[in-house]
């Protein structure tokens, strides 16, 4: 009985995962009915250590001036599928 329950759970999990993947791997962009694959919509993200994600309302020119005075910090590229994974060395 336990073996049968385990197989049923696996089967349902696989079916659910497949259904969700099929449903959400492509999303509509803008007002168009056409759907685009998520991996073609999102670009690479660049994460810089020590910076916050606060959105500033400053004028774009001021932001450029401020950015040019800041110290250089190395950037790390993150792929969209790795967005919620811990960075190496932080397990």
Reading the chain (91 residues) residue by residue, the pLDDT tens digits are 787 888 888 888 899 988 988 888 887 777 777 888 877 776 666 666 555 555 555 556 566 666 666 556 666 677 777 777 777 776 6
β pairing state of 35-37 and 75-78: unpaired
Sort 84 into a burial class: Cβ within 10 Å, 0-12 / 13-18 / 19+.
exposed
User: Can you name the residues that pair with 48 across neighbouring β-strands?
Assistant: 75
Query: Domain for residue 87, yes or no?
Result: no
Query: Domain for residue 30, yes or no?
Result: yes
Query: Domain for residue 88, yes or no?
Result: no
Query: Domain for residue 18, yes or no?
Result: yes
Query: Domain for residue 20, yes or no?
Result: yes
Indicate the pTM of the whole model: 0.35
Query: Domain for residue 64, yes or no?
Result: yes
Look up the domain containing 66 and give its range: 2-82
């Amino acid at each position: 009985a336990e073996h049968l329950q385990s197989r049923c759970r696996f089967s349902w999990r696989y079916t659910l995962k497949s259904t969700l993947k099929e449903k959400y791997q492509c999303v509509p962009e803008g007002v168009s009915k056409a759907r685009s694959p998520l991996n073609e919509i999102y670009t690479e993200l660049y994460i810089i250590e020590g910076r916050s994600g606060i959105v500033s309302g400053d004028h774009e020119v001021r932001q450029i001036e401020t950015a040019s005075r800041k110290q250089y910090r190395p950037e790390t590229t993150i792929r969209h599928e790795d967005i919620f994974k811990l960075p190496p060395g932080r397990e």
